[in-house]
Amino acid sequence: MPTLTVQNLPAAAAVPVPAGATLLAALQAAGHDWMHACGAKGRCTTCRLIVTSGAEGLTPPTGPELRYLDAGRLLPLERLTCQARLAEGHVTGSVPTATMLPHMQYTL
- Give CA 27 to chain center in angstroms: 8
Specify the pTM.
0.94
Q: Are 99 and 57 in contact (CB under 8 A)?
A: no
Model pLDDT for residues 52-64, shown as the tens digit of each residue: 999 999 999 999 9
Rounded Cα–Cα distance for residues 67 and 74 (Å): 9
Model pLDDT for residues 71-108, shown as the tens digit of each residue: 999 999 999 999 999 999 999 999 999 999 999 989 87
